[in-house]
Amino acid sequence: GSSGSSGNKITNLEIYEWYHRNITRNQAEHLLRQESKEGAFIVRDSRHLGSYTISVFMGARRSTEAAIKHYQIKKNDSGQWYVAERHAFQSIPELIWYHQHNAAGLMTRLRYPVGLMGSSGPSSG
């Protein structure tokens, strides 16, 4: 018998609050509008099998009203995930972590992960 090697590189995304598995685009937008913070984001399964979508809330600019952007997370030939082609990563969490610190092709950084319950309660202070 095999001695259960832990060489399994698949990360369980469900441990991250920003990941929402079976959420529709409409539900995603509703969640983010409730949060209504620039850079609030979630990651959800894309309609395309095996890929994902980042939905990000964009604060209102002088010229534009608040909007929600949807970015496809794609896989390149090397099997790495990317939103901006120049920045590819071995895993979704790595990609998210990077874009939490660098906009790098996105309209804004991914500042606030939004859990299914939204932000936890009223903010004190």
pLDDT at 3: 55
CB neighbourhood size of 123 (10 A): 6
Token pair belonging to 102: 């660098």
Strands 19-20 and 40-45, by their bridges, are parallel
Q: Is residue 18 pLDDT above 60, yes or no?
A: yes
Looking at every residue in the chain, the average pLDDT score rounds to 86
Least confident of 25-39, 85-99, 108-122: 108-122
In the DSSP assignment, the letter for residue 15 is: G
Using alpha carbons only, how large is the chain's radius of gyration in Å? Answer: 16
Q: What's the sign of the alpha-carbon dihedral 101, 32, 45, 48?
A: negative
User: Which top CATH class is 16-113?
Assistant: alpha beta
Distance CA 79, CA 94 (A): 14
pTM (2 d.p.): 0.82
